[in-house]
Structure 1
Amino acid sequence: MAAVHILGPAFSNFVRSAMLVCEEKGIDYSVGLEHSGRQYQMHSPEHLSVNPFGKVPVLFHGERKLYETVAICRYLDAGFDGPSLQPADPWQRALVDQWCSALAVQVDQALVRRYLLEFVMPQIVGGEVSMDKVREAEPGVVNTLAILEDQLRDDGYLVGDSFTLADVIAAPMLDYLVGMAPAQPLVNEAPKVQAYVARLKDRASTRRVLVEPVFSA
């Protein structure tokens, strides 16, 4: 049995963030909506019993269960051997925390919930892409990319020269955005973001995690 189980579909950007921490730390893990012979379908009573907000991921570590992506990532980083993904310097750590929070809330809402999912959900549950909603979401994508473009340098990572938990949260959502054809006119206006995603995808961990997704209900 793996040391930890990450509950959730492997295409979820937040599930992928938890997977990235495991890959970076060398933690043996499993992923999916089944654990110890029990199914946890999304929003089912079983799922709500381990996260009353009905979100993923949920981390199983022995008898422990933990939800909220940033908390999971911090726990995995602090609780297991391997390279630290959080700076020792208090100010640098605070900056990483700042970006983790902003990415998990504001950036995820702008890029994933309001924009990318308008293209993805029809693949999962059927239906058609609402181009009205896509156009409504585009200004938020443009603004978010401008904020990231201002933060990034021509090299390094989101906070300084080291790969941190901020990059763990950013990588899956930006990888999806940069790889989506309809988003290219927006992404082309953010060359530093494009170069950043390319640097992220040079890492062994991201090559294993940021693979072509298989969407299913």
Structure 2
Amino acid sequence: MSDFVLYGFDGSTYVRTVRMLFLEKGVTYDQVPVDVLKGETHSPEHLRRHPFGKVPALETGGRILYETDAIAEFLEGHFPSPALVPRQLDDRVDMRQWAAVINNYYYQTMIGELAWQRVINPLLQRPVDEIVIAAALPKVRHQFSLLEQPLATRTWLVAGPVSYVDFLLAPIMAYVMMTPEGREIMADFPGVQRWWDNIRQRESFERTIPERFRTSG
């Protein structure tokens, strides 16, 4: 039994981020599936782990952590090598800013609007709302343009080696790239395309692909 128990299902972008961080750090963990799509996050048992009924939650040392940013901070503090948080203040501030942007804006548009309609609703045999998709596309394009600014001249979102925010964005981008609209937008942003090619070649990305999507995109 590992010292770490991760609660959440593989289809969650945030759960996948934490799984990637464990792999990058070389730290073993156990995973207990908790499926958002089946409503399992709102069971009394899970609400004791995460009072807002979300995933992931991480149990370790008699305590339970929730929210991906906090879990990432915990892992970085206890397992500082390889470093996934920049040591330079300006770079660390850039990373924090990107994390906030991804959590507060990118996730809602790319997952909550585009991918949910184009990928998740068909999976659940629900109708696709093309109006929601059409309204999301200008926002997605704008968000790609913001990514292109740093990625036009460097490999990762923050200066220096790969960092936490690359692993935060990667699972979100994976869903975007399952959509024809996302692939069409990507073609206009070569820096983002290079970043995508680099991140998806990492072992941590390949090993955390949800089983149901292994033949997609």
Common fold: TM-score over 0.5? yes
* SS state at 1:50 partner: coil
Unpaired runs of at least 5, structure 1: 35-39
Q: Is the 8 A contact 1:149 1:190 kept in 2?
A: yes
Change (3 A) 1:32 1:138: farther
Deviation at 1:75, TM superposition (A): 0.9
Change (3 A) 1:81 1:3: farther
Deviates more, 1:79-88 or 1:178-187: 178-187
Deviation at 1:145, TM superposition (A): 0.8
Q: Is the 8 A contact 1:3 1:27 kept in 2?
A: no
1:102 aligns with 2:101: yes
Corresponding residue for 1:25?
25
Amino acid at match of 2:27: I
Amino acid at match of 2:152: R
Output the TM-score relative to the length of structure 1: 0.88
Counterpart Cα distance in 1 of 2:52 and 2:184: 35
1:4 aligns with 2:4: yes
Change (3 A) 1:192 1:210: farther
Amino acid at match of 1:156: T
Counterpart Cα distance in 2 of 1:21 and 1:142: 28
Which runs of structure 2 are paired with 1:154-173 in the superposition (5 Å)? 154-173=153-172
The Cα offsets for residues 173-201 of structure 1, whole Å up to 9 and x where unpaired, read as 11221243342222222221121110112
Counterpart Cα distance in 2 of 1:124 and 1:91: 42
Deviates more, 1:172-181 or 1:133-142: 172-181
Counterpart Cα distance in 1 of 2:197 and 2:85: 22
What is the aligned length? 210
Deviation at 1:46, TM superposition (A): 1.6
Corresponding residue for 1:193?
192
Counterpart Cα distance in 2 of 1:153 and 1:190: 9
Counterpart Cα distance in 2 of 1:5 and 1:182: 36
Q: Is the 8 A contact 1:187 1:194 kept in 2?
A: yes
Counterpart Cα distance in 2 of 1:199 and 1:8: 26
Corresponding residue for 1:175?
174
Unpaired runs of at least 5, structure 2: none
Q: Is the 8 A contact 2:98 2:165 kept in 1?
A: yes
Q: Is the 8 A contact 1:59 1:72 kept in 2?
A: yes
Corresponding residue for 2:68?
69
1:147 aligns with 2:146: yes
Deviation at 1:81, TM superposition (A): 5.2
Corresponding residue for 2:87?
88
Q: Is the 8 A contact 2:122 2:128 kept in 1?
A: no
Amino acid at match of 2:18: A
Output the TM-score relative to the length of structure 2: 0.88
Which runs of structure 2 are paired with 1:125-140 in the superposition (5 Å)? 125-140=124-139
* SS state at 2:59 partner: strand
Q: Is the 8 A contact 1:33 1:41 kept in 2?
A: no
Deviation at 1:124, TM superposition (A): 4.5
Deviation at 1:83, TM superposition (A): 0.9
Deviation at 1:44, TM superposition (A): 1.6
The Cα offsets for residues 97-120 of structure 1, whole Å up to 9 and x where unpaired, read as 111111122111121112111123
Deviation at 1:211, TM superposition (A): 5.0
Q: Is the 8 A contact 2:8 2:57 kept in 1?
A: yes
Percent of paired sites with the same residue: 29
Counterpart Cα distance in 2 of 1:91 and 1:3: 34
Counterpart Cα distance in 1 of 2:148 and 2:25: 28
* SS state at 1:55 partner: coil
